[in-house]
Structure 1
Amino acid sequence: MKVVVAVDDGQLLTEGLRREGIDVIAEVAASAPALAAADGMLGADAEAMLRALADADALVVAVSRATMSPTVVALCDRAGTRVVPLVEDAAGERIAASCGLETPLSRHTEPWRIAEALSAAPRASAPAEPERPQPRVIAVWGPAGAPGRSTVAAELAVELARGGRHVALVDADTHAPSLALTLGLADEGPGFAAACRQAELGGLDARELTRIAVPLGRTGVDVLTGINRPSRWPELDDRRVGAALAACREWADHTVVDVASSLERDEEIVSDLDGPRRNAATLAALRAADLVVAVVAADPVGVARFLRGHADLRATVGATPVAVLANRLRPGTLGIDARGQVRRTLDRFGGIDDVWFLPQDPRSADAAILASQPIAEVAPRSPFTLALRRFVGEAIVPAPEPQRAGRLRRRDTRRTGPGRAPQPRADDMARVAGRVG
């Protein structure tokens, strides 16, 4: 059997495989297949890598966001080369699963066991299930310009809590935290910063999280409020945030994290390379997420800002799924066929073909701000709430009321088609307006 080993510092693995009778025809850096697939290597190196994959029966590769992508899998499929993934942690396992690879082995597996796996038939990564896996940690991101990140995060948490789920809502915004102010909660409590400190000390568990969190009425949502002064951002470093979100993953069925817009890596603009980073909380939350909800303001300026930041977002999250949600859709700023214009622009300039829409609903939003409550509590049948409910049922978890959702989908498919937010009828909107007003 001919094998290519794409593992950094893989000399011991290569020698061990050769002792087991495996013919290792090439030993390359872990990122080499990804660079070759993206045509980013120098010509001779790329050609050598492609020839090695074409001649090999299997590729043993260390999986990470930098080394594995659907493009690499497609390249190996065309060459008829089996991919045997090696992973370091749970993040690597998620990347391998998202790329459709077989069940991964630990990066520290003995060479003889890897040789046995190479000789055996490929192991399926997981049996087929009727329901897709539900994301435990959901990060809500959007570019600068207030596209509605915090509003979407709060409403998303409330909607996910329907049906008895326990949902955590985390304010990890280090630039302009606003969830406590929006929802009428005290921002002087311990909040997410205290959870991060306890996580660093190893004392953060479900009991401590319950003590720190603030219940959001009777919605089933527990809120970890953000820092009450932006100057406290050094308390949310990447290690603390990662550990705190790992504890939230075990504590709640779903954790919704509101993050800041900036994705800059501050190493480029500060001289102290060991110091804290202003955007560390955002980057750590995005890396820890199982799903990223990217919010774009549905107007020309908002779409332009989103497209500029979307490439940085994809570079940050790697293979993590991203669901794009166009907020505040209205015809006034886009003219005829506002929905189609947003969809075509995102598809043409960002390669984004799945978009969900939330309508402009100022009456419901104003009523919610006035009452310091989520829109879903103040106007449960508002156009905004219904559209977000459909987004949750289609993009995140199965709808809690399938029969009712089915009736809604049949009524609205004629206007919107699959994957689009429903447009309530004029009489529905009149009833909502009367109820909210």
Structure 2
Amino acid sequence: MRVVVAIPDAGPFVERLRAGGHTEVAVLAPDVMVGVAREGSGATEALAEADVVVLAASRAWLTREVVELCDRAATRIVAWARDPSERRFAEVLGVAVVDADVDALDAVTALPSPRPRGRSRGRVIVVWGAAGAPGRTTLAIELARETARDGRRVALADADTHAPSVAIALGIPDEGPGLAAACRRASRGELTPAELTRIAEPAGAVEVLTGINRTTRWPELGSGRVMRTLATCREWVDDVFVDVSASLERDEEIVSDLDGPRRNGATLAALESADLVVAVAAADPVGLSRFLRAYPDLRATVGAVPVHVVVNKLRGGPLGIDPRGQIRRSFERYAGIERCWFVPWEPRAADAALLAARPIGEGNGRGPLPAAVRRFVGEAIAPPTPSTPAQLRRQRVTGRAAPVRSAP
């Protein structure tokens, strides 16, 4: 068997292969492998003659060009994954994947894991809030992180055309392709789950589609494009959380170009595609007033889609005695909202997370805010009974079983 090895520090791996009887082993640096695929070189012929290529599963090296080159040459790829995010990336591409600590002889004989059949459609969960800063992005990040802890494939998309901030909050470069690139490919009919994996940036266990880096680029997130992108996201992950802007106005009556893009088109398209909406209100008189005025417009936009209300930044100062009771009574009286969830105001943890560019729950997992998010996910967003091995393992270890509920 002819084997090409393109992984960092390949020496011990190659020695083990040769000791096991594989004498025809060639070594390529991973970046050279990418150059071969893009430009072609003398190494292309050697690659075409190989039976197996063991390639590092990094997004920088396991590229579309490399996969296409190996497909044309009928050379099987074995992705060598150093962490769970690389394993997930390789699995989406449909190639065989092994962990970095697996025996070299087992690696070259690995077969692609069968893809699950009859996989249910993923859910689109939109995080919306009234004007101001009720904490939409913070909650979207925390909800995505907490949902991913149950072993589900989770993505986070920033569709805010007024003030996108997911990339900044997570320390991800906003010059990357992100959601805008996914929308462009969707408009040409070229968007696939594998392409979404290439475009997305990993943030722990969550795949992130960053937003536009300049608000003047909002026409790139057209309504039709966003809808087609979210439809593909349903095939890509189990749950995609979409952070959207506050504005819900439809301005067709005041413009002459009825077919032109709309600034709020991305928000409206996401809400119309949603299986579930998380509506965020800030726990102060101004935030609650803005929320109650905008809530009827939200209900008119989403129709019968379930809406779960979360009151964020809860503290006693702005509302006096019994803030929870006051908020519940106001919601029930003025909006007919019979149930809501509360997330406490934890400024030190929020500041520390923003400074470190990470979710609050990563450095403060037992704090009041992550605990409130965990409770909300378990009661309102938790998926049906776990069916994947990772979910079942987590249930056995933690004893936390997701409640059985009907699909949204």
* Superposed pair shares fold, TM > 0.5: yes
Match of 1:147 in 2: 134
TM superposition shift of 1:404: 6.4
Matched position secondary structure for 1:352:
coil
Match of 1:309 in 2: 294
Q: 1:172 aligns with which of 159, 167, 182?
A: 159
Q: Residue 360 in 1 paired to residue 345 in 2? A: yes
Matched position secondary structure for 2:270:
helix
Q: Residue 163 in 1 paired to residue 119 in 2? A: no
Normalising by structure 2, we get a TM-score of 0.65
Match of 2:188 in 1: 201
Match of 1:105 in 2: none
Residues 21-48 of structure 1: per-residue CA shift (max 9 Å, x gap): xxxxxxxxxxxxxxxxxxxxxxxxxxxx
Q: Residue 252 in 1 paired to residue 240 in 2? A: no
For the residues of structure 1 that align with 2:163 and 2:146, how far apart are their CA atoms?
24
**Across the two proteins, how many residue pairs are aligned to each other?**
273
AA matched with 2:282: A
TM superposition shift of 1:403: 9.8
Matched position secondary structure for 1:181:
helix
TM superposition shift of 1:268: 2.9
Residues 114-172 of structure 1: per-residue CA shift (max 9 Å, x gap): xxxxxxxxxxxxxxxxxxx9971100000001100000001110001002211010000
Matched position secondary structure for 1:185:
coil
Matched position secondary structure for 2:230:
helix
Contact 1:259 1:282 in 2 (8 A): yes
Matched position secondary structure for 2:182:
helix
Matched position secondary structure for 2:213:
coil
Structure-to-structure mapping, 1:110-259, within 5 angstroms: 136-216=123-203, 219-259=204-244
Normalising by structure 1, we get a TM-score of 0.60
Matched position secondary structure for 1:320:
coil
Contact 1:135 1:291 in 2 (8 A): no
TM superposition shift of 1:382: 1.1
TM superposition shift of 1:402: 9.3
Q: 1:378 aligns with which of 352, 358, 363?
A: 363
Residues 406 and 160 of structure 1, relative CA distance in 2, 3 Å threshold: closer
Q: 1:282 aligns with which of 267, 270, 274?
A: 267
For the residues of structure 2 that align with 1:135 and 1:363, how far apart are their CA atoms?
35
AA matched with 2:254: I
TM superposition shift of 1:405: 8.0
Residues 223-268 of structure 1: per-residue CA shift (max 9 Å, x gap): 0000000000001111100000000011001000000000000213
AA matched with 1:370: L
Q: Residue 322 in 1 paired to residue 311 in 2? A: no
Quick one: percent identity of the two aligned structures?
64
TM superposition shift of 1:387: 0.3
AA matched with 1:245: L
For the residues of structure 2 that align with 1:312 and 1:386, how far apart are their CA atoms?
31
Residues 331-359 of structure 1: per-residue CA shift (max 9 Å, x gap): 00111100111111011000001100000
AA matched with 2:196: L
Structure 2 unaligned runs (5+)? 1-119, 386-393, 402-408
For the residues of structure 2 that align with 1:134 and 1:358, how far apart are their CA atoms?
29
AA matched with 1:220: A
For the residues of structure 2 that align with 1:350 and 1:405, how far apart are their CA atoms?
37
TM superposition shift of 1:269: 2.9
Contact 1:139 1:286 in 2 (8 A): yes
Residues 405 and 181 of structure 1, relative CA distance in 2, 3 Å threshold: same
Q: 2:323 aligns with which of 338, 341, 363?
A: 338
For the residues of structure 2 that align with 1:287 and 1:404, how far apart are their CA atoms?
36
For the residues of structure 1 that align with 2:314 and 2:121, how far apart are their CA atoms?
27
Match of 2:248 in 1: 263
Contact 1:149 1:258 in 2 (8 A): yes
For the residues of structure 1 that align with 2:173 and 2:276, how far apart are their CA atoms?
29
Q: Residue 298 in 1 paired to residue 283 in 2? A: yes
Contact 1:135 1:396 in 2 (8 A): no
Q: 2:335 aligns with which of 350, 355, 368?
A: 350
Match of 1:121 in 2: none
For the residues of structure 2 that align with 1:406 and 1:167, how far apart are their CA atoms?
19
Matched position secondary structure for 2:310:
strand
For the residues of structure 1 that align with 2:217 and 2:345, how far apart are their CA atoms?
34
TM superposition shift of 1:394: 0.2
Residues 134 and 382 of structure 1, relative CA distance in 2, 3 Å threshold: farther
AA matched with 1:257: V
Structure 1 unaligned runs (5+)? 1-132, 408-437
TM superposition shift of 1:363: 1.1
Match of 2:12 in 1: none
AA matched with 1:165: R
